[in-house]
Amino acid sequence: MTIPISEEPDRDVMVVGGGPAGAMCALMLARGGARVSLAHWSGYAPGGIELVSGHARSIIERHCSSFFREAVPGVEVHETISVWDTPEPVTFNAMFNPWGPGVAVERQPFDRALCDLARAAGVSIVSDAKVTGIERRGDRWRILMRLAKTSADEAGSSGVCSASFLVIATGRVAAPFLERSPLVESSQIALMTLLQERSDKPCAAPAHAPQHALYIEATDKGWWYALPAMGGKYFAGFCIDRDELKRRQVPLKDFFFQELQRTRLLAPRLPSTQGMQPISGRTAGAGAFISAAGDGWLAVGDAAYAPDPLSGMGIKWAIETAELGARTLLEEMQRATQSPTHRNSSTGFAGYEDAIRARASQQDKTAAYHYGRFQKWKHK
């Protein structure tokens, strides 16, 4: 159900942010018996194609078995083909993954479908609501919101929601309402566009390359990835250091395709500039905040820790942290019911923080290992 913002009642949990992490956390909380509201601002919705891993896919299908058949059709990704620090392409087949193949989906319909799933589970969705303030009053959170105006003559309404627990799911954007500044600002940016796959691939293209594969390739200026999309298209991204990008001598579009044509794995599959969509940019690289949880609140998805895009773990991380966060909050609610003196105890939130830090540390080590190999290869 969707409730007008001025009538939003008190809730057990308020989720701020309607991306995959926020929507899935709200869904799991509602399925666990909590009264949940979710506020999201659609102006922040990212576009492009995202990879949903086999594990993340299985979690979503546990809640809706037909999700990827009916709600958000995508392209199954059966292989990853990479040229990182090797003379020839290396292939990893999904048949060796116990969770099965992942699926590449368009991000905006994916986000909407997850919010619809949460709504069907009983989550009250406050659409196009910008959170303007969050404050702690006693053992409850007070969330101030402003609803977008629907016409030029309308001022836009505002309102307040009260909740026992708070979930921050605002992605890489630092919420100014809590003391949780970013630890390190990423120096990388991903340049992205959607391209039609070349139908007349020359013989130089890898003969073994299947249609539904994720491609990863390192170059001397950064690294590339390409995900299959519906209609025989590919979503291509080039991750590069911002300073390196500033040193380019040509317009962005020309630079993008000059670098694309220098690749061995992608160039034979992807066309020239004909029919391309505008190039967009997004912050890349790993990102972390000084805290992922506190007294009565926790962060999920990129708001807890943003994994490096090299891992391909963005959506997987969002879904897994949503599940872990929902489980933590449901346990805290159960403790509060059994013993009011333990309401909003720090035990569960400290455990969640530790779990996030442990997983983030492991991902940082893995990324450092691969980037280290990349740097050695570059300087050979």
DSSP-derived secondary structure letter, 269: T
> Pick from 336, 355, 347, 335: which is nearest to 292 by CA?
355
CA separation for the pair 109, 162 (Å, rounded) = 29
User: If you average pLDDT over every residue of the chain, what do you get?
Assistant: 85
- Count CB atoms within 10 A of the CB of residue 111: 22
DSSP 182-231: BSS---EEEEEEEEEPPSS--TTS-TT--SSEEEEEE-SSEEEEEEEETT
Structure tokens at 63: 């809640």
Question: What is the pTM for the complete model shown?
Answer: 0.88
Under a CB-based contact definition with an 8 Å cutoff, are residues 214 and 323 in contact? Answer: no
The DSSP line for 116-177 is HHHHHTTPEEETTEEEEEEEEETTEEEEEEEEPPSSTT----EEEEEEEEEEE--TTSPPTT
Q: What pLDDT is stored for residue 116 in this prediction?
A: 96
Residue 44 has what pLDDT? 66
List Cα–Cα distances, 153 to 43, 150, 156, in angstroms: 20, 8, 9
Condensed to tens digits (0 to 9), the pLDDT of residues 144-203 reads 988 876 544 455 567 788 999 999 999 887 667 777 776 666 788 999 999 887 665 544
Residues 320-365 pLDDT 10s? 999 999 999 999 998 888 776 555 556 789 999 999 999 989 988 8
Quick: pLDDT tens for 89-145.
999 888 778 888 999 999 999 999 999 999 999 999 988 888 889 998 888 999 998
- Among 11-20, 27-36, 73-82, 304-313, the range scoring the smallest mean pLDDT is 304-313
Q: How far is 144 from 373, CA to CA, in rounded Å?
A: 48
- Scanning the structure block, which residue is given the tokens 């061995």? 264
**Sign of the Cα pseudo-torsion (26, 162, 345, 292, in order):** positive
